[in-house]
Every structure is written in C-alpha cells, then in structure tokens.
Amino acid sequence: MATTHEQIDNEVKTNDIVLFMKGTADMPMCGFSGRTVQILQHLGVPFKDVNVLADEALRNGIKEYTNWPTIPQLYIKGEFVGGSDIVMEMFQSGELKKLLDEKGVA
C-alpha cells in the first residue's frame, strides 16, 4: 500500500496538470477551489482534479508535501505553481498561459 506521500507524488508526476481541491471540478466545495477550476476551464486545458475532502490523509498530506497550508494547489508538469491567489494573479497577467505554453500543455 502506497503512503500518502507516494500517492501525491504519483499524481503530481503522472499528470501534466493536477489540481488538488475541495470537491470536484464539476462540484467544487469551496470558492477558492471553484475559482481555480474556472480559470483552468477558461484556458481550455485538460487537468486532473483530486478531491482532498474524500481522504483526510490526503487533505493533510498535500499541505506537508509542498509546505503550503491551503487548498487548492495547482501543479503543472510536476511543479507546484501556487494556490488560488497566485493562479488568479498569473491568469490576469497572462503568465499562466505563458507557463502552460512553455511547458507544452496548453
């Protein structure tokens, strides 16, 4: 049985874009998560959503994994990009689109 850390590591490394969030992309359970989903959908990029509310170990584990205390958390090509504030700021400045282009996942 994989540890929580291994489970997270696997999600981050095997998906081009993965969003750890509260709820699902179809039904976000928190405004910050919902806002981040909207940005990704607006940019039209496919992403994997992982619902941390479905697993308490995951909910705590993801905070330790990146030393980041809040959810959502966006990872692109294995790299932590930020939470909803950073994603919003990068979206508005065009940096997010640029990053996606650079990583070849847009």
Partner 1 sequence: MAMSAQDIERFIKEGIPDASVEIRDLAGDGNHYAANVISPTFKGMNRVQQHQLVYAALKGRMGGELHALALQTSTPQE
Question: Which residues make up the interface to partner 1 (CB under 8 A)?
Answer: 32, 63, 67-71, 80-86, 89-90
Least Cβ distance, residue 15 to partner 1 (angstroms): 19
Q: Is residue 18 within 8 Å of 48, Cβ to Cβ?
A: yes
Q: HSE on the CB side for 53, CA within 13 Å?
A: 12
Q: Measured from the CB atom, is 6 or 64 closer to partner 1? A: 64
Nearer to partner 1, 46 or 57 (CB): 57
Instruction: Give least dist CB 40 to partner 1, A.
Output: 18
Q: How far is the CB of 63 from partner 1 (least distance, A)?
A: 7
Residue 50 or 52: the one with the smaller Cβ distance to partner 1 is 52
CA 54, CA 92: separation in Å to the nearest integer? 31
The burial class, CB within 10 Å (0-12 / 13-18 / 19+), for 24 is: middle
* Residue 54 DSSP label: G
